[in-house]
Structure 1
């Protein structure tokens, strides 16, 4: 049988595997979801931010290659600054121009393919990086793992997840690859200032690292994280080189050239944002990179000065100089201190409001295992392998990989969004460990296979060779036992190594297979992750049936010279929905998913949890709002978010308090149970969405509860000692009577069951809820969120749109009513109690062409007087009588 020399074909085999691994994510993250999501109307993009990215693409295509650093179509009435870079958007825009995609559906399809393409590009990049720090076998394993790795990395490289996150991972990994190449090239070159040839390749590779860094930087200013990694690595590598008496001049060259190129590139790019904020494109980045170069030079000078002295001098001197430098910056240059020191601590910190933002939350152990599972074990082994290989001769590339992983891991632990960065580290280190074990055990596995196939050495007799005569031993000595030799043959495998080989192969395949299965599930469910049908219906209605705000959707405006036209206005909703309002409706939200316009006295959080219409109206007046959009999620599942943003110290506890209740009758074990109190029903989101702004009285029994304070009961929450379902009027009287003579640390209150325990409880206030005087429902979506309650059950729609109006005034006392029928066919009575002898009517009984209509005149209940109110009366705020 002819022997085939596989080494001769190795490059072609490697290329073949890389191509296959590259096609795999294009299939799982591109073709599978695209086959379900592309329609003649375009693509139902995933999540929130992708809608804004495609909005940017539309704007850039219309003004190619112009890029808007200011957007007047969001965050009314100020507009918003765009704080990320143009690269991702301009790559998509250039592709659109190249293929002639000019309509919205065409642009959406082109944009939707870019994330899976960038995810696929990670395959050859990861292969090259793994090969650079180890060998081609490890490179192939790493390429295969990055092709199937799951979690945020896979999700954010799905078709239709049009956001710069996958570009962040790609460009940062490219930088790591080129920077490591520069390190190894420079470390292995005899540097001489007198011989340019010795500097040629080191300078070229370091400059290439600078260009790679700029690619990441022009995509997102959080590329500064990689500079932090370089700084940490530089410090550690200087220490290692000093203790091992190795020169560190290569670090000076690489950092000086790399970040010198970065400084030049950033300066040429310009500074669209003022100040020193490293999260934006400011001159602060130049300061930071200059400080990195200066720090590298200082380390080199200090190490050269202390060379030949006791080893502990160097770290001791570093600690002392660092303390002095921080103190000087704190006192003399507070702006620079905040830039370089305070911002670092802020980055790794956490605030209460971050818990309301999914990607800003801390990473949990459960989430880590759910995402990377056995990859974490393999990656830990890879880190151990790099440390083991560096025990005698430190490889700076290995040190850099370890520091890179440590910082990204810490970033992910603080903010789960960085999980998509960490995917590259997990795949790389898992491959390093798998490759190391395979290298160490392959010979024994080969021996096992040879033995199993009959290729093991046979006994001399069996081979046909004449057996040598046995040497004579002593008289009476037993002849040697030829059946069981004392020394095993050299080709006998080490079964411990064979077992290690098998274990690593099984765990690696388990990691890859489980990840691939998860990715297929992501792809299959992607079509359900866009805007749901109810929101899409409401947004399309708004885009067609509300006044044009007078701002050109595609125009690029200058922030310093732009002013809004007189007819412009804002749309109030929760920040999750801001980009949808901009893209689908082409209207201007008062806040957006960048969490701008959410906090503060005029923020949407304060508005939605306000229990005073007067205060809520003041907010809308201050920010020029005309329409308010609510949905069932904001009303229930997401309610904790505005409550937390409005008051991080208290959160939703003032609206949805928790009490300790016995788990069962007579039980001594307690469980925390949430309830609604009257404050929840008085919030603007509840009064609008649940009650249509109408006055609402309790219509069922409420819970009368007696409790002991947490301090008195020595518990974490108040403990309910007695509950009774009572008529609302009797319950209110009982609360008043009990609290007049309640023991210290005890009290009584009215409660209602939490939404998840009794669905319609959000419609059942425990006391009267006053009407809103300046809000009228103008549209609601068709679906009833209580669709399983039958025809006689409550009817609450998923999304509602209200108009904020001046309202007409009617003199009178008591309660006034007007019948209303919505566009969905739902009928309700708008009721209002007079305030200081006046009713404020938000609905017109004539002259109104909207879909939500009154079906009769206003009628004062106690007098029977009726009134007709025109649309002009409503808008002019006229007094009718």
Structure 2
């Protein structure tokens, strides 16, 4: 066995560095784990597991389905866009991983609790794993110490912690992991290829050239993870395009400096070819019948798109060789290619409107334009509010101060690239960073992607500043005082032999200069420590808020949806949604996934923005007849409203319905003791809308909608700071009270009611008798229903203008079957 003392000093130092590196990565993983588990307590407070957002609940539905049908995925669901159903655009890889983890944790037979825990824990696991490619990228572009601090910055940056915390069952965390791994392997391929002068001639020695094989292996690995990325998110093909963009930029720089670019094109072509080969079998198992092309679903579009990117790289390669061979000015290269690209777009617009629409819609999506994106809060620009006002709160909430330090690091990095011989991995990282920065600035939801680059650049600028303070040297002086004296007094141990100490050496006086270590510079120590704290403490502080801000669904919605599942007729096909269920539930699209997963009922509108036109028309209409027509056409049995729909979300409802908010509110800016504020005063048109009649007036003037449940718990924790109540209404045919009274007499039916919370309210509906004295009043409530829901406290009191009270009882069958009840009011 080899004695450690026998090792050369260099080997011992290398081994120590490896141990320190491993320990550091383990510590980083622990920190990342703690940051991402802060929400565990709030999400499991009631003994179950709650999830953090909206899409998370539909991902859990798919995970639940995949566990039951492993490895099958839920691609068409009759529980959304009811009654038509909807084809799911999400690729299945993230949900497959959740189901696989559940099966492993449940030893092949997981129960619902295990499945929900696996789904909630999956983002934590993927978030921690992302630290590895972040470290690899930073080490390849900069150095290991930058990589270590960059990985720590990434472990605590709020934008990524937010999407990878416990309970955030969404594919965004997988996007970051897979794209960063793909980019990391591509960077390694580039770096290896450039250092070893990879060219076409190198393939002659492919069997013996390990460096060539390493570069090719890295490229293939990059392609594999790009294909898994495509199998996770429909927007992933755009990131494959990014490889082509980089190839154009790098080749332009190489042509300007008179360098060969074979290494760029070999790595790029192999990466995209591998992506193509891995994508074909993945897409083939998911695409619809025929050769339909769609950028919104897994289809042959992704395969064709990657193939086009491969052709694009080969064309770039050929044209660069031509420019180089003809000794043309390097400016012709980018100029001609940009002209060709623009011409191609124009020709595509002329001869293939469908493919042009794919590209245009993709650009609109990444720029935050088009469709219903403008009504989504997370899709607004980073520095703007939903009302278009400048704000810095989103930046602080996503990055702390890491965004600012990252931007500072970016400018410094650009300066260094200009001053030094630009390496391909550095150029790639720069283009990658600019691309992600654009995404984050255009839509704040993409801050989780930019978190990788911002963290690495933060580490880069931080080390630059720390080095200027000699911080490391000062820390060593502080933690190892007297090291010089100790080292001078210790014997020198040589390999294989111990040097005995002579007795007289003990009494030998050590010179004062060698026995004292200089005192540390406390100003530099404090400055360096303050700098580090200034960068990391705000991030950790923001992340700590997730400990209590984890739950998105309020108790009022939880209460109402649990009631919906337990107290309404069960619908069929929940775990095999290939057939149409018996009825649907109508609410605003924000709440659709909650209705499907917690209430286990089909939803007309959900978070895919399905059915939003029908929902908005229903809530905005002032006609009960139109409302009846909508729910009857959609076979809706229940309607759910909340306070936010009647207030804060009303503007989105009006916008999608094609109305102007000014038609319903008079908006003025006034001044008070605190300054300027905006005051919105309701107009008469608002009071006539169905959302107002239902939620604000309990539907007390409607014939076919009855309140059956209201939330027993009211939350005061929503964003508006106002109390939120959820109400469930049932659509019924209604019993029609018909009879005779005096001609042109107003007849009024009145019923006193108590809600499930004990709240008292009054239903009142009237009709004016015609010239023959005939009247008809359709009412939705039974007077004999005595369950735990809304119940009548008496019979209907039926009165005319000049008559006494006439009491009428209505049973449940009368209401459900639309029975006519003949009544003659005595004079």
C-alpha separation in 2, matches of 1:261 and 1:109: 35
Q: 1:165 to 1:500 in 2, by over 3 A?
A: farther
C-alpha separation in 1, matches of 2:257 and 2:668: 62
Counterpart in 2 of 1:758?
none
The answer as to 2:625 corresponding to 1:614 is yes
C-alpha separation in 2, matches of 1:670 and 1:42: 45
Q: Secondary structure at the match of 1:340?
A: helix
C-alpha separation in 2, matches of 1:117 and 1:90: 15
Residues 741-769 of structure 1 show CA distances to partners (whole Å, capped at 9, x for unaligned) of xxxxxxxxxxxxxxxxxxxxxxxxxxxxx
C-alpha separation in 2, matches of 1:316 and 1:503: 48
User: What TM-score comes out, normalization by structure 1 length?
Assistant: 0.78
Which of the numbers 15, 18, 22 marks the counterpart of 1:15? 22
C-alpha separation in 1, matches of 2:368 and 2:556: 37
C-alpha separation in 1, matches of 2:724 and 2:526: 57
Residues 676-697 of structure 1 show CA distances to partners (whole Å, capped at 9, x for unaligned) of 1111111111111111111xxx
Residues 572-616 of structure 1 show CA distances to partners (whole Å, capped at 9, x for unaligned) of 112222122111221111111222221x2x2x1221122221222
Q: CA deviation at 1:15?
A: 0.7
Counterpart in 2 of 1:328?
347
Greater mean deviation of Cα atoms: 60-69 or 381-390: 381-390
Greater mean deviation of Cα atoms: 84-93 or 270-279: 270-279
Q: 1:9 to 1:834 in 2, by over 3 A?
A: same
Q: Secondary structure at the match of 1:657?
A: strand
Residues 9-47 of structure 1 show CA distances to partners (whole Å, capped at 9, x for unaligned) of 0010011011001011212322x4324543685212212
C-alpha separation in 2, matches of 1:317 and 1:501: 54
Counterpart in 2 of 1:721?
none
Residues 446-475 of structure 1 show CA distances to partners (whole Å, capped at 9, x for unaligned) of 69959x979999xxxxxxxxxxxxxxxxxx
Counterpart in 1 of 2:758?
825
C-alpha separation in 2, matches of 1:493 and 1:287: 66
Q: Secondary structure at the match of 1:579?
A: helix
Q: Secondary structure at the match of 1:390?
A: helix
Q: Secondary structure at the match of 1:221?
A: coil
Which of the numbers 295, 315, 335 marks the counterpart of 1:316? 335
Counterpart in 2 of 1:531?
553
| Kept after mapping to 2: 8 A contact 1:69/1:272 | no
C-alpha separation in 1, matches of 2:790 and 2:476: 80
Which of the numbers 580, 589, 609 marks the counterpart of 1:564? 580
Q: 1:449 to 1:23 in 2, by over 3 A?
A: closer
The answer as to 2:545 corresponding to 1:521 is yes
Counterpart in 2 of 1:272?
287
Which of the numbers 699, 704, 708 marks the counterpart of 1:774? 704
Aligned pairs for 1:568-607 (under 5 A) are 568-598=582-612, 600=613, 602=614, 604-607=615-618
Aligned positions, number: 742
| Kept after mapping to 1: 8 A contact 2:247/2:265 | no
C-alpha separation in 2, matches of 1:670 and 1:798: 30
Counterpart in 1 of 2:825?
none
The answer as to 2:795 corresponding to 1:857 is yes
Aligned pairs for 1:409-428 (under 5 A) are 409-428=437-456
Residues 635-663 of structure 1 show CA distances to partners (whole Å, capped at 9, x for unaligned) of 2232223123222x72x322222035565
Counterpart in 1 of 2:695?
689
C-alpha separation in 2, matches of 1:670 and 1:444: 51
| Kept after mapping to 2: 8 A contact 1:631/1:798 | yes
Counterpart in 2 of 1:755?
none
Structure 2 regions of 5+ residues with no counterpart?
384-390, 486-516, 740-745, 823-827
Which of the numbers 544, 551, 557 marks the counterpart of 2:566? 544
Q: 1:142 to 1:784 in 2, by over 3 A?
A: closer
Counterpart in 2 of 1:808?
735
The answer as to 2:377 corresponding to 1:371 is no
Aligned pairs for 1:667-746 (under 5 A) are 672-694=678-700
Aligned pairs for 1:621-700 (under 5 A) are 621-647=632-658, 650=660, 652-661=661-670, 663=672, 672-694=678-700
C-alpha separation in 1, matches of 2:553 and 2:61: 15
Aligned pairs for 1:43-62 (under 5 A) are 43-62=49-68
Which of the numbers 827, 844, 856 marks the counterpart of 2:782? 844
C-alpha separation in 2, matches of 1:631 and 1:415: 28
Greater mean deviation of Cα atoms: 187-196 or 112-121: 187-196
Q: Secondary structure at the match of 2:622?
A: coil
Residues 504-561 of structure 1 show CA distances to partners (whole Å, capped at 9, x for unaligned) of 66333321122112212212442xx24322222211111111111222x222x5xxxx
Greater mean deviation of Cα atoms: 156-165 or 826-835: 826-835
Q: CA deviation at 1:210?
A: 0.5
Residues 84-130 of structure 1 show CA distances to partners (whole Å, capped at 9, x for unaligned) of 12222121211211121622222222222221222211222211111
Q: CA deviation at 1:426?
A: 0.8
Q: CA deviation at 1:141?
A: 0.8
Q: 1:251 to 1:41 in 2, by over 3 A?
A: same
| Kept after mapping to 1: 8 A contact 2:592/2:605 | yes
C-alpha separation in 1, matches of 2:716 and 2:177: 45
Q: 1:302 to 1:345 in 2, by over 3 A?
A: farther
Q: 1:313 to 1:163 in 2, by over 3 A?
A: closer
Aligned pairs for 1:88-127 (under 5 A) are 88-100=94-106, 102-127=110-135
Q: 1:316 to 1:538 in 2, by over 3 A?
A: closer
Q: CA deviation at 1:492?
A: 12
Counterpart in 2 of 1:463?
none
Counterpart in 2 of 1:167?
174
The answer as to 2:430 corresponding to 1:399 is no
Q: CA deviation at 1:621?
A: 1.5
Counterpart in 2 of 1:261?
274
Q: 1:59 to 1:346 in 2, by over 3 A?
A: closer
Q: Secondary structure at the match of 1:156?
A: helix
Aligned pairs for 1:152-551 (under 5 A) are 153-189=160-196, 190-191=198-199, 192=201, 193-197=203-207, 198=209, 199-269=212-282, 270=284, 271-272=286-287, 275-307=292-324, 308-341=327-360, 343-351=362-370, 353-364=372-383, 366=392, 367-391=394-418, 392-438=420-466, 442=470, 445=473, 506-526=530-550, 529-551=551-573
Q: CA deviation at 1:423?
A: 1.0
C-alpha separation in 1, matches of 2:716 and 2:152: 47
| Kept after mapping to 1: 8 A contact 2:559/2:713 | no
- CA RMSD, aligned part only? 3.3
Counterpart in 2 of 1:73?
79
The answer as to 2:575 corresponding to 1:554 is yes
Which of the numbers 3, 26, 39 marks the counterpart of 2:33? 26
C-alpha separation in 2, matches of 1:341 and 1:510: 42
Q: 1:142 to 1:363 in 2, by over 3 A?
A: same
Counterpart in 2 of 1:746?
none
Aligned pairs for 1:745-764 (under 5 A) are none
Q: CA deviation at 1:870?
A: 2.4
Q: CA deviation at 1:796?
A: 9.6
C-alpha separation in 2, matches of 1:867 and 1:259: 76
Q: Secondary structure at the match of 1:222?
A: coil
| Kept after mapping to 1: 8 A contact 2:401/2:538 | no
Q: 1:582 to 1:251 in 2, by over 3 A?
A: same
Q: CA deviation at 1:305?
A: 1.5
User: What TM-score comes out, normalization by structure 2 length?
Assistant: 0.83
Residues 207-264 of structure 1 show CA distances to partners (whole Å, capped at 9, x for unaligned) of 1110111222222222223223223212211211111111122222222221212222
| Kept after mapping to 1: 8 A contact 2:592/2:606 | yes
